[in-house]
Chain A
């Protein structure tokens, strides 16, 4: 049987880490508290550079989703409900989730590898002995840019996904484009859309924390850095899926 002590030990380190990161948030309001250049660099890495792949993947997801829905709906002659199915699935789940997965692969692993390498090169020790908190210096810019990038990417992803559904509607189901669009406007509401975007912010926090945490505890050798990147990806995906389930339940309480 697993004793209480083991459980406490397992969770102690991550909790201490989260506490440390939370503790440095006031740094944001200090003079030069946040390195602007670093912040812009990560905004570019996690945001702008991820946009093409986000658009492509979300469009394809919308396409596949629409196609599967079309196959089933056609049997009962309710083709127009493909619009509802694609629209809600994309806004509530696939938009935020696909963006989170892409961000995990691009940003989460990069964070872990970067911090792990800094550890190998003793840069982390150098920061500490300069009296600069690595949590403030390394985690905050990443966190902030992820908090901005993921919601924005989700908006784009949602749009691409719906266009994917539209493509199937128009080609496979021969629905008129105007009908598809007006049905979309009719059934989808802004709250559903916003809740999905908010969810992506939760994912942003989880991916950043997992990536940085794995980087900080990487062992100080080249293989350690590789393992850190791997475990960052695995634990991010795990955390994102768990959080997604929890949020689905929470949202259902408020009727969405």
Chain B
């Protein structure tokens, strides 16, 4: 793939093979780059290894082969300490929020600040309040995670991931299980993270609405060939991809949406008469 911008990539995946055990290969020999300041979406059918790929990129698993460089440093070959150093530049939000159940919302968000900064209690409280406000949860510091709805937990997870103003943000299916309005709000939030804080964002998702709203570029993973089916601008791919499956995947939502809208307008017209 030709590098369009001269900037070095924030994440560079090279000839990566991932899987479980020794037999079960999920993705074979894949390579792609994530450039600074872009919102990059990883798409594909369920079970094709999106979450697995994400967990490799953030250094939780060791790949079967290949290399992953974050800011030019390999997270695969890094030792424990180097890895933790790299991880401090990450914010990761998980499918269910992954808040610590024994701590209040405020303590959850404060945790990375307590671990990695020399801030005083008051300063930490101020940052916590700011981050919670950012995700629309202001004033809920003293709530326990169990007292929140799924969407609130996800947003709280995002506030915690943002606590140290990371340069890299990872999301695993941010809108799964959320109502359309909340998930649209989350999309806006992701855009704001990038625009205000200059973060580079990697999102695993198969919500087409979300992809077309936020993504600068996408990779589509194909389960059968265990490889990347397509990579590039989602609008471009929808119209001009050589791969029919990719076009169908990206079009389905659009077609259905358009049809439904047409049907609905016809119905309301009929009702008006």
Contact = CB atoms under 8 A, between A and B. Distances in A.
Interface stretch (B81-89, B222-230, B239-247, B265-273): B81-89
A129 B87 contact: yes
Interface residues of B, number: 24
Most buried by B among A117, A122, A123, A133: A122
B92 A123 contact: no
B88 A125 contact: no
Interface string A126-155: 101111110000000000000000000000
Nearest to A129: B92
A12 interface: no
Interface in B118-146: none
B55 A125 contact: yes
A126 B87 contact: no
B100 A123 contact: yes
Contact of A125 (B94, B99, B100): B94
Q: Is the interface of A mostly helix, strand, loop or mixed?
A: helix
Contacts of A122: 94-96, 98
A32 B115 contact: yes
B87 A131 contact: yes
Contacts of A32: 114-115
A213 B95 CA distance: 25
A128 B87 contact: yes
A131 B85 contact: yes
A131 B101 contact: no
B5 interface: no
B112 interface: yes
A126 B85 CA distance: 15
Nearest to B86: A131
A121 interface: yes
Contacts of B208: none
Contact of B84 (A41, A118, A131): A131
Contacts of A129: 58-60, 87, 90, 92
A132 B94 contact: no
B92 A126 contact: yes
A164 B195 CA distance: 72
A11 B88 CA distance: 32
A131 B94 contact: no
B176 interface: no
Contacts of A130: 87-88, 111-112, 115
A126 B98 contact: yes
B102 interface: yes
A185 to B, nearest CB: 45
Interface string B240-265: 00000000000000000000000000
Interface string A91-134: 00000000000000000000000000110011101101111110
A61 B55 CA distance: 52
A86 B115 CA distance: 51
B180 to A, nearest CB: 25
Contact of A38 (B84, B85, B102): B102
Contacts of B100: 118, 123, 126
A38 B103 CA distance: 10
B114 A123 contact: no
Contacts of B92: 125-126, 129
Interface string B40-66: 000000000000000100111000000
Given A38-B102, A123-B98, A129-B92, 13 more contacts: A121-B96, A122-B94, A122-B95, A122-B98, A125-B92, A126-B92, A126-B100, A129-B58, A129-B60, A130-B112, A131-B115, A132-B115, A133-B84
The 7 closest A-B CB pairs, nearest first, are A131-B84, A126-B98, A131-B87, A122-B98, A122-B94, A129-B92, A131-B88
6 contacts: A32-B115, A117-B101, A121-B101, A123-B99, A125-B55, A129-B92
